[in-house]
Amino acid sequence: MEFAKAQRFTARVSEKYFLTDNEHFLYLKFELVLPDRMIFEAGQYVSFAVNALGERRSYSMATTPDDNHGFTLVAGMTKGGKGSIYLHDLKIGEEVEVLAPLGRFVAESTQNKLLFVATGSGIVPIYSMICDLLINKQETRPMRLHWGLKNEANMFWFDNFERLAEAHPNFVFDPVLSEPGEEWSLCRGHVQDCLQRDFTKDRLAEWSGYVCGNPKMVDEVSALLIALGMQPEEVYREKYT
């Protein structure tokens, strides 16, 4: 796959709000100013200089490539994190410089079934991929998403995924909570537990996997997918730190 060359863009903050009451996940929308259009692939990311020292942080775009006059982000807020402080302090209307598009964590052109696994804000590039595949490309191959969060207070985009599952019978959405309330009736534990519940050895021989989350989770899930029969070269990873 050929990727557009990264370049510097000026972008303006047009929307900003928290997706959860606990203010853990921050949504930001940017309009491109100059250049005013970006060519990118679903799953790629942008990079910001987050302080006067020029230290940079990267955030995946939730946008799909057809929306090329801007981009959206969802960032997990970390107390004291340099990127979190930078994004939290941005004001509506403020202009920033970004380097984009970056990264190669994109859906490859294969005939395999598609298994997506994410935790926390690792869902962002996967959300872009799934929306692009189902809505824009009318993908009919079986697709499944396992998304892990801590509890109900961290849940966002669930309605979006449920609507996608209703509209596209080939897509299955399987949310996972590690510390749910008593009324939670879906999968409990970690995404690894639910993958082992749903797939037995050699069941994944005809699947490709896309895994995004913290490094420990990515390594453990990748090893599990291979143990369940997925070919190592069909496991695509993106680690969030």
Class of domain 113-239: alpha beta
Q: What confidence score (pLDDT) does residue 222 get?
A: 97
Residues in CB range of 75: below 8 A, 6 or more apart:
25, 26, 28, 59, 83, 84, 87, 121
Which residue type does 118 have?
A: A
Q: What confidence score (pLDDT) does residue 1 get?
A: 75
Q: What confidence score (pLDDT) does residue 9 get?
A: 98
CA distance readout (Å), 147 to 55, 165, 183? 30, 14, 18
User: Radius of gyration (Cα) for the chain, nearest Å?
Assistant: 18
Tell me if 145 sits within 8 A of 130, measured CB to CB. yes
Spell out the domain ranges in the chain. Answer: 7-102, 113-239
Q: What confidence score (pLDDT) does residue 20 get?
A: 96
Q: What confidence score (pLDDT) does residue 165 get?
A: 97
Q: Residue 213 phi/psi, 5° resolution?
A: 170, -160
- Cβ-based neighbour number of residue 98 at 10 Å: 24
CATH code for the part of the protein at 7-102:
2.40.30.10
d(CA 95, CA 11): 5
10-residue mean pLDDT series, the chain (241 residues): 91 98 97 97 97 95 96 95 96 98 92 96 97 97 96 95 97 96 92 91 91 96 96 94 72
Q: What confidence score (pLDDT) does residue 227 get?
A: 94
Q: What confidence score (pLDDT) does residue 212 get?
A: 97
Residue 180, both tokens: 């749910």
This prediction has a pTM of 0.95
